[in-house]
Amino acid sequence: MQRVSQRPTYKTIVSVAAAVAIVAVILALGAQKNFGPQQYGQLVVAGLGAGAIYALIALGFVMVYTVTGIINFAQGAFVMLGAMIAATIYGDASSGDAVGLVIAAIIAILATTLVGVAVERLTIFPARNADTLTLIIITVGVYIAIQGVGLVVWGTSAKAFPAFTTLDITDGTLRFWGIVLKTQTLWIWGTTALVLALLTLFLGRTLTGKALRACSVNKEAARLMGISPTRMSVFAFGLAAGMGALAGIVLAPATRPIYDMGLKLGLKGFVAAAMGGLVSSPAAVVGGLLLGLTENVAAGVTKSGLKDVFAFIVLIAVLLRKRGIFAAGTDLERP
Q: Which residues pair with 176 in a beta bridge?
A: 179
Q: What is the DSSP letter of 85?
A: H
Task: Output the smallest distance, CB 106 to other proteins, in A.
Answer: 24
318: how many CB neighbours lie within 10 A of its CB? 23
Our finding on whether 265 is near other proteins (CB under 8 A) is: yes
Among 11, 33, 128, 231, the residue binding other proteins under the rule CB under 8 A is 33
Among 89, 117, 186, 263, the residue binding other proteins under the rule CB under 8 A is 263
Our finding on whether 202 is near other proteins (CB under 8 A) is: no
- Measure the CA–CA gap between 213 and 199, rounded to whole angstroms: 12
Task: Output the smallest distance, CB 307 to other proteins, in A.
Answer: 7
Among 39, 123, 208, 330, the residue binding other proteins under the rule CB under 8 A is 39
Among 17, 137, 201, 217, the residue binding other proteins under the rule CB under 8 A is 137
Q: φ, ψ for residue 209 (rounded to 5)?
A: -60, -40
Which amino acid is residue 20, in one-letter code? Answer: V
CB 76 within 8 A of CB 57: yes
Residues in 58-87 that interact with other proteins by CB under 8 A: 71, 73
- Measure the CA–CA gap between 87 and 93, rounded to whole angstroms: 8
Count of helix runs (H) and strand runs (E) in the chain: 12, 2
Residue of 290, 272, 292, 294 lying closest to 281 (CA atoms): 272
- Measure the CA–CA gap between 254 and 172, rounded to whole angstroms: 11
What is the length of the chain? 335
Q: Which stretch binds other proteins (CB under 8 A): 81-89, 122-130, 236-244, 261-269?
A: 261-269
111: how many CB neighbours lie within 10 A of its CB? 18
Residues in 105-134 that interact with other proteins by CB under 8 A: 132-133
Among 103, 107, 140, 167, the residue binding other proteins under the rule CB under 8 A is 140
Contacts with other proteins, 286-315, as mask; x by CB under 8 A: ------x---xx-xx--xxx-xx---x--x
Our finding on whether 251 is near other proteins (CB under 8 A) is: yes
- Measure the CA–CA gap between 62 and 269, rounded to whole angstroms: 10
Residues in contact with other proteins by the rule CB under 8 A: 33-36, 39, 42-43, 46-47, 49-50, 53, 71, 73, 94, 132-133, 136-137, 140, 147-148, 151-152, 155-158, 160, 168-170, 173, 180, 182, 251, 254-256, 258, 260-261, 263-265, 267, 270, 274, 292, 296-297, 299-300, 303-305, 307-308, 312, 315-316, 319, 322, 331-333
